[in-house]
Structure 1
């Protein structure tokens, strides 16, 4: 007999989890705290590890219709724009890992997942369903919303993001996410609206003291996504992922960049910002699962964007969850969730730790920066490739 599973959170991790579980025959109740399903934010880089799993969920064609396939990853100096290292992407990486490296707008990824979920008759969608209380026993989990609605299921999946309410019922004692002292500014523009010299067909990264910038195409290459991350503190609400900002505010934190990067930043029509928070890397499977409750994505292992794997790890979690549960009966769920946690915690912890380490490398100053640049010029693509990650 298939199980009835509650999924808290209608973002990328929640939708992917609902879809993966539905494909195993389970009945899903998806609980989204907002009044409508939607997504804000900027672009998302999807390595072969993520696109391989989206293919497994039946989303290969839908993804290809909205994504851009960058031709290369190029790392440059923010000051002089000189190339430090370059790694071919496109067909080269697809052949190496059996799946492409793609760039997509977060809202487009969310929409294709939502469309796939809506095609599943066994998934019920609920909005205005912010979970404020969870009760469970050996056989059932009950989740209650702020407006006094309640849902019962055989298990609860917490995919409710960085500020998860479900998390406190798994990670005990729990603590808030930690402020990193880093801020991210994002902008998007139609490629046709900027000079040809500023348009980008690959992923380009500029490294500078205490900052770095990334630009890459999305929406079939027709739009350009630009993100600047710097060591700065937010004057706004740390929970607000969509703060209004400006180039002036960005440059008050970062100063002016070299001419090439500066020209790109000045061409952007507007800026949004958010403060970056994370958690320490996972230390064990017990931080992912407790009895009939499990966590996926940022609810379990939020990470800095210095490895471009936040969405990728949420998608990996979702597919692993579906594989661990299979078509098992409700009585088997606690053991199945433990299998999921055992399969995921070490990989997620490694990505969290590597993302933190990359932040130190990307933002290095002084002799460390000089050593980094020399190593990149010497070893090039060998330093940029991530076989342990992309083949996993």
Structure 2
């Protein structure tokens, strides 16, 4: 008999998990604390390792319809705007890795997954549910909410993000430790490209590297919109749990200081800014950080990471398919062994991505001699430094 699995969290990771499980006829009930299923934020970069998984979920056509396919990744100096390195994307990525490199709006990707989960119809979608208690036994998991409702299933997948409640069910020593506040703040803005002068429009991914900061701009929504993100080493403001704080260009400029004219012009053209504080956890130390008996974690609940490798959503989607593959057509009795196989298969890759993301942050934000060495290496090696075969081909 297919298993009945409770999925805590209705974001990208939770919906991808529910969809992947439903393909093997498992019932996956998804519980979201918001009153409606939706996503905040703006852009997401999806490398070939991620688009390949979405194609496996039969979402390739729908994904191509909502995505932009940038033709290159170009790295600049934030100080003078000079080009440091370039990596061809577009057809080059498709030929090398067998899948495209896409940029999407987070809400569009979430909507694509939600539509697919609803079309499958194998489980319930429950909103306005803030889970406050989880109880497990040898063969069941029960979750209860703050408004005294309760649900029972044969397993629980925690897709409930950085401040995960499900994480506390793990046996690892880090299960109850709070996330690490990095001291980095991110600002994001989104604008329709037709509202920009031609010189500021983008068909590629542009990155600017500066002392203790970097910026990135890339097209989304079929190329019709432009997503801009700036991350600076700046004292966090507001609630660390709030991913959608109101901000301003003045606050952004105060944090980042002076930059080249082309970048400043792009930032000034944005109609408004939202901000959030970046937090993460230490890289996953073992399989025990991802699963324990009838509880497994996916995405940020297991391995939150800084966005310097653009793989947060990607690792959640990889997790979802790996978990469904580990369970296969297995019954409820096979869940603990399947979750153990899943964690064994995933923890080391996730740890590597977490560690590389942290390292990239140090490189992107380097100062002094390290910055000069970084720029020289990029000018000499270019695409060889920017390509990630271990990641995109994995």
Asked if Structure 1 and Structure 2 have the same fold, meaning a TM-score greater than 0.5 normalized by the shorter chain, the answer is yes
Distance 1:391 1:6 in 2: 31
Which residue number in structure 2 is paired with residue 176 of structure 1?
178
Q: How does 1:1-392 map to 2 (within 5 A)?
A: 1-170=1-170, 171-172=172-173, 173-392=175-394
Gaps of 5+ in 2: none
Residues 181-210 of structure 1, C-alpha deviation per residue, up to 9 Å, x if partnerless?
Answer: 000000000101011000010000000000
Q: Report the alpha carbon displacement of residue 79 of structure 1 after superposing the two structures with TM.
A: 1.0
Q: Deviations over 1:70-90 (max 9, x none)?
A: 000000000111110001000
Residues 340-363 of structure 1 deviation map (CA, whole Å, 9 limit, x = unaligned):
000000000000000000000000
Instruction: State the distance in 1 between where 2:334 and 2:232 align.
Output: 46
* Superposition TM-score, scaled by structure 2 size: 0.99
- CA drift of 1:235 comes to 2.2
- Give TM-score, length-normalised by structure 1: 0.99
- Note if contact 2:184-2:278 (Cα within 8 Å) is conserved in structure 1: yes
- Could you tell me how far 1:59 is from its partner in structure 2? 0.5
Deviation at 1:169?
1.1
Give the Cα–Cα distance (whole angstroms) in 2 for the partners of residues 182 and 305 of structure 1: 11
Partner of 1:307: helix, strand, or coil? coil
Q: Deviations over 1:130-153 (max 9, x none)?
A: 111000111100011111111111
Moved more, 227-236 or 44-53: 227-236
Aligned residues: 392
Deviations, residues 233-282 of structure 1 (Å, cap 9, x unaligned)? 22211110000000000011111211111011001010000000000000
Task: Give the superposition deviation at 1:42.
Answer: 1.3
- Runs of 4+ in structure 1 off by over 6 angstroms are none
Residue deviations 1:76-113 (CA, integer Å, cap 9, x gap): 00011111000100000111000000000000000000
Partners of 2:272 and 2:34 lie apart in 1 by 25
How far, CA to CA, are the matches of 2:145 and 2:126 in structure 1?
Answer: 11
* C-alpha distance in 2 between matches for 1:64 and 1:367: 42
Secondary structure of the corresponding residue to residue 162 of structure 1: coil
CA distance in 2, matches of 1:19, 1:379: 41
> 1:278-299: CA deviations, max 9, x gaps?
0000000001011100000000
Equivalent position SS for 1:305: coil
Query: Which range is displaced more, 101-110 or 233-242?
Result: 233-242
Partners of 1:237 and 1:121 in 2: CA distance: 36
CA distance in 2, matches of 1:38, 1:121: 18
Task: Measure the CA separation in 1 of the matches of 2:98 and 2:60.
Answer: 13
SS at match of 1:273: strand
Superposed displacement of residue 29, structure 1? 1.0
2:86 partner SS? strand
| CA apart distance, 1:121 | 1.9
SS at match of 1:119: helix
**How much does 1:214 deviate?**
0.1
CA distance in 2, matches of 1:266, 1:207: 18
Q: CA deviation at 1:129?
A: 1.3
